[in-house]
Amino acid sequence: MDIIKKVKQTIEKYNMLSIGDHVLVGLSGGPDSVCLLYILNMLKPEYRLKISAAYIDHGLRPEDVPEEIEFCKHLCESLNIPFYTQSIDVKNFAKNEKMNIQEAARILRYAALEQISLNIKAHKIAVAHNADDQAETVIMRLLRGAGPAGLSGIPPVRKKIIRPLIEIERSEIEKFLSERNISYITDASNESLKYLRNKIRKTLMPVIKSISPQATKIISRTADILREENDYINIAVTKALMRLMSRKTDKTVELFCNPMEVLNIVILRRALRVAIDSVRDLKGLSFDHIEEIIKLIKTGKPGDRIYLPKGIRAIKGYSTLTITAEAPKKLSTYEIAEPEDVYLKETNVVVSLKEIKKEEVKDFGDGKHTIYADMDKVKFPLIVRARKAGDYFYPFGFGKRKKLQDFFVDEKIPRDERDAVPIIESNGAIVCIAGYRLDDRFKIDDNTKRCLQIKILPKL
C-alpha cells in the first residue's frame, strides 16, 4: 500500500487530526521527521491544515547543530512552512534530576515543543516515531523488566502529541525519500552502540528479522493489543481506587489496607503505581518496589515503612497505608527560660516542664513520655532542638556514653522521624531525648531535693 494512504489510515484510526488543525512538527532534519513533514504537507489540502515546524537544540552536539538548523530552515522555506528553534540544557537538567541523558532530553524536548505550540496556538504536535521505533521500544522495555503498561510501547496519541508514522516501517520511509529524491541529515549519534536503543537496532533487530521478517509488524501489533488491554485494566484500577482512597492531598494519599489485602494482585500493583504517581511522578519505580509495598500491606506492623526513590515513603498505619512525598518534619530550636509549657509547632506536641518536690514524685513515670530529672543538675535556659551530627548522651540505665544515631537505630525510630524528636539540652549537655530516655547524668539520686518533671503531650 502507498505510504500516504497508510499514514492517512493511521491518522483516521487514532483520530489524530481534525479539519483545520494547526500542527507543529518536531523537525530534526533526520529521515523520519523530514518524511513526516513532507507527508503532512501533502495531506494539508485534504485536512485544511496549518503546518509549522520546530527544531530543538539539546546542547549535546554543538558542532552539528548550526548545519542542521540551516538545513531545516531551508527545507521549511521551500515548503512555505513557518520554522522555529529553541535551545534546552539537557546536561544540567540530567545532572540536577539524577537521570540519564536520553530521558532528560526527552522530557525537555517535549516541554519545549509544548511551549512553542502554546506560543503559536498549535492544536497538535506531530513527532516522527515509526513502527521500528515502536518495536525497539517494546524490546528495550522487555529487557528492563517492564509490565503490560510499559510493553504497550509508544502511544500513537498522547494528549496533543500525535505520531502519524507509528505504523510505517523505516524501510518504507527510506523508500519514500529515495523515490522523491528528498535529502535529509544523518545524525552520527544514531550509530553509537553506547546507547541501548542503538544496540537493539544495530545488533538485535537484524537477528530477530532474520528469524521473522515480519517482526516489526508483529511486535507493533502486540503493543497495540497490550495497549488496549492496558486501557481496560486502567478502568478497573480507577474504580478500585475510588473504593480504596481514604484521603488525598497534592503530596499524600491514604489508602484503606483491608480492601487491598484481598484485591486482585494485578489491579493492586497498578493501583499502587497510580497512587504513587499521584503524589510524585516517579519514573524509577521498579517491580520490586511495588512488591515491597504489597508485603508491607499484608504483613507489616503499624509504623513500618518503606523508603522509595525521590523521597517518597509508604507508611503502614493501623488501618491505612499512607504514601507521601511530604518532606519529613524538622524541629526548630526553642529556648526555655523557666519551667513552662512549650508548644512545638512542627510536631504538634507540647513539652510541659514543671518544678516539683522530690516527695511529690510518686513513681518515675514511664521514663519516656513522663521523665523526672534532678532540678539542681539542670541549668536554665534549656534548649529544645532537633538532633545534630555528633550528638551523644548517657542513656539512663545503660551505664555508658552512646551516640544518638546508634540510640535511634536501636529504638527503631524511623529515619524520616528522627529530625522531629525533641532533644532537651542544658548547658551543652543532653538532658533527655523527649519521649524516649533521660540522660543518666541528670537522674534523681539520694541528694536530690527538687525535681524537674518533663512531659510530652499531644496538643489538644
Q: What span, in angstroms and rounded, lies between the C-alpha atoms of 418 and 3?
A: 63
Which residues, 6 or more positions from 362, have their beta carbon under 8 angstroms from its beta carbon? none
Do 81 and 41 contact (CB within 8 A), yes or no?
Answer: yes
28 is in an annotated binding site: yes
User: Please, what is the angle between helix 170-179 and helix 3-13, to 10°?
Assistant: 130
Which residues, 6 or more positions from 322, have their beta carbon under 8 angstroms from its beta carbon? 252, 253, 254, 255, 313, 314, 315
Which residues, 6 or more positions from 129, have their beta carbon under 8 angstroms from its beta carbon? 32, 154, 163, 165, 166
Q: What is the CA radius of gyration of the chain?
A: 31
212 is in an annotated binding site: no
Do 25 and 129 contact (CB within 8 A), yes or no?
Answer: no
Q: Of 384, 410, 385, give the one whose Cα is nearest residue 397.
A: 410
Q: What span, in angstroms and rounded, lies between the C-alpha atoms of 459 and 383?
A: 20
Number of other residues whose CB lies within 10 A of the CB of residue 410: 11
Q: What span, in angstroms and rounded, lies between the C-alpha atoms of 289 and 292?
A: 5
Q: What span, in angstroms and rounded, lies between the C-alpha atoms of 82 and 24?
A: 9
Number of other residues whose CB lies within 10 A of the CB of residue 342: 16
29 is in an annotated binding site: yes
Number of H helices, E strands in the chain: 15, 22
CA 251 to chain centre: 12
Do 353 and 432 contact (CB within 8 A), yes or no?
Answer: no
172, amino acid identity:
E
Do 388 and 420 contact (CB within 8 A), yes or no?
Answer: no
311 is in an annotated binding site: no
Q: What span, in angstroms and rounded, lies between the C-alpha atoms of 418 and 405?
A: 9
Grid look-up 544495530 returns 202
183 is in an annotated binding site: no
Q: What span, in angstroms and rounded, lies between the C-alpha atoms of 111 and 113?
A: 6
33 is in an annotated binding site: yes
Q: What span, in angstroms and rounded, lies between the C-alpha atoms of 230 and 226?
A: 6
Q: What span, in angstroms and rounded, lies between the C-alpha atoms of 373 and 117?
A: 68
Q: Binding site for ATP, residues?
A: 28-33
Which residues make up each annotated binding site? 28-33
